[in-house]
């Protein structure tokens, strides 16, 4: 039987040795902490940063339960079992625990002995920086059970490999891996989210074994219930707990050209120059591994043979308005100078090759090395590769069964990292890079493309990609819902290798399982100092078609990036101008740049209002249960529904033509709205599944009726013509609004309010668009800009033009052009 122990700023209930604490961060965010025979932990969280508290709750001691209420949510605790249930203001149950209680702690000891080869170094060092033995700790395994509602879909937990969309009926193993990114947080279509403050191995079940989360090592069970009523409010609550996402540089939303790998400075300059010559937009080019010399793996300096003058090299790219990203690793080997320096300070993990990101001093030294060897030469962005940082099964020929993979990989982590912390290395690694660059300069925004993440990592300007995947249609299909789930977990920026990392097939490795070989070369020769003249791209037309569809999809991701091994990926590897595959790539790159006012405004809302760009359809349509299990559609912002093509229509592997394949795909249009075909502007009613044309150059794309999409002209880089006119498309049918966000595109002046917002509102019944008075200022602001307003309706298009000077202006559609 649970009794009241304390009610001073929070509610503490007890039953024997069990203690349950309920506190509030805001009136909509509750923290639940459960322990057995131990005091509540006082230490700071690695993932939760807020210091906010809310104490204006109301406690009632009722016959069978305790009821704790705020103006937004009500929580009940069963006196017999301690089972917790959550309700909205009107008494509707949101989430419950089983009658038997639902919270379980099993005491165990963690035996973890420090040695030079099997642990990380921190407080286990003596004054001579020698390892000393750690002692056993008393900890718990934890289990938190749930009772979900029948008509409820769940999303989140990061990006994994299985291709799940709705997580109901699924199991998800939560440990870091090359192709797994863990975020211990999920959201529901019922308007709530749940964040587990735990950094150990976890497993989520909603299957025949039950509905619960199991955690391997905790000092207490500690989690947060976030209510918002809708997805965007819930995500704001998540960011209230874990921190705001900073603005990325504007050029990060342009096109990014990468491959494994460009060999020297001259090759990269030539590639950038060829894009400029062909007038194909480009904003960033990427240098993959082996920027260093010889066998100095992970050394953060340039090889003087291949990059003899890195400052001049990067300046040459900058003169073409192309930015430069470089791959850096947490591992260092070959007795390289960076490795030796880390070792001298005792800053390496027990494998002797991975620096100890758990130490703030080690993170600072890592940044100092990156600064002195790379950043001073003009590096614009970081590619923090292999940030898990261990993948134990990556050398196997056969993929292990999932339960065996879990054990093999997590045991490997536990050799070098405390078992309670094995999921959180990437968060601290990203923190070090972000804080280091912020200490160094405020004129260049941090951009960190990385492979592993944990809750709250968005506050360190990271973009995640889903690892080294293989070129198959099935892989493409699986990527779509995994990206959606990652972003549903409150982390806003996700991408992938367009076309997949591995094109070809290797019998020696389980993960190198692409379907195409013609023209593939494998990994670039590590000793190469000049590009391979034979590397002219994969010649299999089956891959060309897969790449075309992947490229269409990739152009509607938060980051638009091609990368991979086996064969080069530049546009001219797929034909020449006037041929279908080349023209398809050019079309979607140019469309991306036309959409940049829309995309960058969404990014502004990510920072200002915790918005999510890549959205599960069900999250915006929680009352339409047909959206719950959609795996191959998503929303890009609230206006655009993206419907990638995920089956071949023209070629099988080995360039074998597919005869008479239909050039269509099925699309579900959610109920509650009408939808415009983006390409034809035909209007369709929601609540129906349609067969939609999808020839090679067309990915089905729909616009929600009642949408405003700002666009601009095609540019060769994002800020080529700062004063370019905006095309404001009004897709008629409902009242709507949109806020255009503008700032300098780089620097951190926006943190002091140096940005501008332009609010646009459309009233359908009046047929009137209001461009409201501009709010805010920054020195680079374009004071006057031409706005070409395009009213789109069933009857067609109507265009009107205004010169916007920052003052409110109203534009009316012609009365006979109705929605």
pLDDT value at position 321?
A: 99
Of the candidates 12, 409, 407, 350, the one whose C-alpha atom is nearest the C-alpha of residue 176 is 409
Work out whether strand 462-465 and strand 494-495 pair parallel, antiparallel, or are unpaired.
Answer: parallel
Q: Is the pLDDT of residue 658 over 60?
A: yes
Q: Is the pLDDT of residue 117 over 80?
A: no
Mean pLDDT value across residues 660-683: 98
Cis peptide upstream of residue 261 (ω within 30 degrees of 0): yes
pLDDT value at position 66?
A: 99
CA distance 694 to 691: 9
Confidence of residue 129 (pLDDT cuts 50, 70, 90): very low
Of the candidates 145, 148, 18, the one whose C-alpha atom is nearest the C-alpha of residue 95 is 148
Length of the chain: 819
E runs forming strands in 130-237: 137-145, 154-159, 171-174, 181-188, 192-196, 202-207, 210-218, 221-227
pLDDT value at position 120?
A: 39
Burial of 527 (0-12, 13-18, 19+ CB in 10 A): exposed
| Contact of 80 with 318, CB cutoff 8 Å | no
Beta bridge partners of 711: 727
Contacts of 441 (CB under 8 A, 6+ apart): none
CA distance 494 to 181: 11
pLDDT value at position 114?
A: 47
Contacts of 797 (CB under 8 A, 6+ apart): 681, 790, 791
pLDDT value at position 608?
A: 99
3-242, which class in CATH?
A: mainly beta
pLDDT in tens, 583-597: 999 999 999 999 999
Confidence of residue 526 (pLDDT cuts 50, 70, 90): confident
Of the candidates 131, 92, 88, 93, the one whose C-alpha atom is nearest the C-alpha of residue 113 is 131
What count of Cα atoms within 13 Å lies in the side-chain half-sphere of residue 169?
Answer: 9
Q: Is the pLDDT of residue 130 over 60?
A: no
pLDDT in tens, 238-278: 999 999 999 999 999 999 999 999 999 999 999 999 999 99
CB atoms within 10 A of CB 473: 17
Confidence of residue 725 (pLDDT cuts 50, 70, 90): very high
Beta bridge partners of 142: 105, 215
Helix residue spans in 279-309 (DSSP H): none
Q: Is the pLDDT of residue 721 over 80?
A: yes
Reading the block at residue 396, the tokens are: 């196997």
Confidence of residue 124 (pLDDT cuts 50, 70, 90): very low
CB atoms within 10 A of CB 169: 13
pLDDT value at position 111?
A: 81
pLDDT value at position 113?
A: 53
| Contact of 251 with 560, CB cutoff 8 Å | no
| Contact of 574 with 537, CB cutoff 8 Å | yes
DSSP designation for 557: S
Query: For all residues of the chain together, what is the average pLDDT?
Result: 96
pLDDT value at position 175?
A: 99
Beta bridge partners of 384: 328, 450
pLDDT value at position 118?
A: 38
| Contact of 777 with 746, CB cutoff 8 Å | no
| Contact of 203 with 172, CB cutoff 8 Å | yes
pLDDT value at position 125?
A: 36
pLDDT value at position 816?
A: 58
pLDDT value at position 211?
A: 99
Residue ranges matching CATH 2.60.40.1760 in the chain: 3-242
The DSSP element (H or E) to which 25 belongs, if any, is: strand 18-26
| Contact of 528 with 303, CB cutoff 8 Å | no
| Contact of 208 with 495, CB cutoff 8 Å | no
Q: Is the pLDDT of residue 128 over 70?
A: no
The phi, psi pair for 486, rounded to 5°, reads -60, -50
Task: Name the CATH superfamily housing domain 722-812.
Answer: Golgi alpha-mannosidase II (2.60.40.1180)
Contacts of 340 (CB under 8 A, 6+ apart): none
Residue ranges matching CATH 2.60.40.1180 in the chain: 617-704, 722-812
Q: Is the pLDDT of residue 126 over 70?
A: no
Q: What 3 state SS string does 144-161 have? A: EECECCCCCCEEEEEECC
pLDDT in tens, 787-814: 999 999 999 999 999 999 999 999 999 8
What count of Cα atoms within 13 Å lies in the side-chain half-sphere of residue 571?
Answer: 30
The model's pTM is: 0.96
Mean pLDDT value across residues 107-136: 53
| Contact of 226 with 238, CB cutoff 8 Å | yes
The CATH code of domain 617-704 reads: 2.60.40.1180
DSSP designation for 430: H
pLDDT in tens, 370-407: 999 999 999 999 999 999 999 999 999 999 999 999 99
Mean pLDDT value across residues 324-349: 98
- Judged by DSSP in three states, 644 sits in coil
Confidence of residue 134 (pLDDT cuts 50, 70, 90): low
Q: What is the CA 532 to chain-centroid distance, rounded? A: 34
Of the candidates 240, 213, 247, the one whose C-alpha atom is nearest the C-alpha of residue 607 is 247
The DSSP element (H or E) to which 669 belongs, if any, is: strand 664-669
Reading the block at residue 365, the tokens are: 């030294």
The least confident of 37-46, 93-102, 107-116, 491-500 is 107-116
- Judged by DSSP in three states, 580 sits in helix
């Amino acid at each position: 039987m649970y009794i009241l122990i304390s009610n001073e700023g929070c509610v503490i209930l007890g039953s024997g040795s069990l203690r349950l604490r309920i506190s509030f961060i805001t009136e909509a965010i509750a923290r639940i902490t459960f322990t057995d025979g131990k005091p509540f932990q006082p230490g700071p969280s690695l993932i939760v940063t807020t210091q906010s508290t809310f104490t204006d709750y109301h406690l009632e001691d009722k016959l069978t339960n305790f009821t704790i209420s705020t103006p937004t949510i009500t929580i009940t605790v069963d006196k017999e079992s301690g089972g917790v249930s959550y309700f909205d203001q009107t008494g509707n149950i949101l989430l419950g625990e089983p009658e038997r209680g639902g919270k379980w702690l099993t005491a165990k000891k963690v035996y973890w002995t420090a040695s030079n080869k099997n642990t990380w170094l921190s407080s286990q060092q003596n004054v001579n920086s020698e390892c000393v033995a750690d002692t056993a700790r008393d900890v718990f395994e934890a289990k938190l059970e749930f009772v979900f509602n029948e008509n409820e879909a769940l999303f989140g937990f990061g990006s994994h490999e299985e291709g799940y969309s709705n997580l109901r009926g699924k199991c998800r193993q939560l440990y870091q891996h090359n192709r797994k990114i863990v975020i211990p947080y999920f959201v529901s279509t019922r308007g709530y989210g749940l964040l587990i403050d735990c950094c150990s191995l976890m497993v989520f079940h909603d299957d025949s074994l039950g509905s619960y989360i199991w955690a391997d090592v905790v000092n207490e069970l500690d989690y947060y219930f976030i209510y918002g009523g809708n997805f965007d409010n819930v995500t704001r609550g998540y960011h209230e707990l874990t921190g705001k996402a900073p603005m990325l540089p504007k050029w990060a939303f342009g096109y990014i050209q990468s491959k494994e790998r460009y060999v020297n400075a001259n090759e990269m300059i030539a590639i950038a120059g060829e894009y400029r010559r062909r007038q194909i937009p480009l904003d960033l080019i990427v240098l993959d591994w082996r920027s260093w010399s010889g066998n100095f793996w992970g050394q953060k300096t340039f090889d003087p043979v291949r990059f003899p003058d890195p400052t001049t090299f990067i300046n040459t790219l900058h003169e073409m308005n192309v930015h430069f990203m470089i791959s850096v690793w947490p591992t260092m080997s070959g007795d390289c100078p960076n490795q030796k320096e880390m070792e001298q300070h005792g800053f390496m993990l027990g494998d002797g090759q991975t620096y100890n990101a758990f130490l703030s001093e080690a993170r600072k030294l890592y940044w100092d090395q990156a600064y002195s060897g790379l950043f001073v030469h003009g590096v614009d962005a970081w590619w923090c590769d292999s940030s898990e940082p261990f993948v134990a099964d990556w050398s196997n020929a056969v993929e292990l069964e999932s339960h065996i993979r879990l054990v093999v990989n997590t045991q490997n982590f536990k050799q070098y990292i405390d078992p309670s912390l094995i999921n959180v290395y990437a968060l601290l690694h990203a923190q070090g890079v972000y804080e280091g660059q912020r200490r160094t300069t405020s004129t260049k925004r941090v951009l960190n493309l990385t492979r592993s993440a944990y809750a709250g990592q968005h506050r360190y300007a990271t973009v995640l990609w889903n690892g080294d995947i293989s070129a198959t249609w099935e892989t493409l299909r699986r990527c779509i819902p995994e990206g959606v789930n990652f972003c549903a977990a409150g982390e806003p920026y996700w991408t992938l290798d367009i076309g997949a990392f591995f094109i070809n097939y290797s019998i020696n490795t389980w993960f190198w399982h692409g379907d195409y070989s013609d023209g593939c070369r494998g990994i670039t020769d590590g000793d190469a100092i000049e590009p391979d003249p034979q590397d002219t791209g994969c010649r299999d037309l089956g891959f060309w078609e897969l790449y075309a569809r992947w490229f269409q999809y990739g152009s509607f991701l938060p980051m638009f990036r091609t990368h991979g091994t086996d064969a080069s990926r530049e546009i001219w590897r797929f034909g020449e101008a006037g041929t279908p595959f080349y023209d398809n790539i050019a079309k979607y790159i140019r469309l991306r740049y036309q959409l940049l006012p829309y995309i960058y405004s969404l990014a502004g809302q990510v920072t200002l209002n915790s918005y999510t760009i890549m959205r599960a359809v069900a999250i915006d349509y929680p009352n339409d249960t047909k959206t719950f299990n959609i795996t191959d559609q998503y929303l890009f912002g609230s206006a655009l529904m993206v419907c990638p093509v995920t089956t071949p229509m023209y070629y099988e592997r080995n360039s074998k033509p597919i005869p008479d394949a239909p050039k269509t795909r099925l699309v579900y249009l959610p109920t509650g709205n009408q939808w415009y075909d983006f390409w034809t502007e035909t209007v369709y009613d929601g609540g129906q599944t349609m067969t939609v044309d999808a020839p090679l150059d067309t990915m089905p794309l729909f616009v929600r009726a009642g949408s405003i999409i700002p666009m601009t002209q095609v540019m060769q880089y994002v800020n080529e013509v700062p004063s370019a006119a905006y095309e404001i498309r009004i897709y008629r049918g409902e009242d709507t609004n949109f806020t255009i966000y503008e700032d300098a595109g780089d620097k951190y002046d926006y943190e002091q309010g140096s940005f501008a917002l332009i609010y646009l509102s459309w009233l359908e019944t009046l047929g009137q668009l209001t461009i409201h008075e501009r709010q805010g200022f920054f020195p680079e602001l374009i004071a006057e800009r031409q706005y070409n307003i395009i009213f789109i309706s069933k009857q067609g298009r109507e265009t009107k033009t205004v010169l916007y000077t920052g003052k409110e202006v109203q534009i009316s559609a012609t009365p006979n052009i109705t929605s």
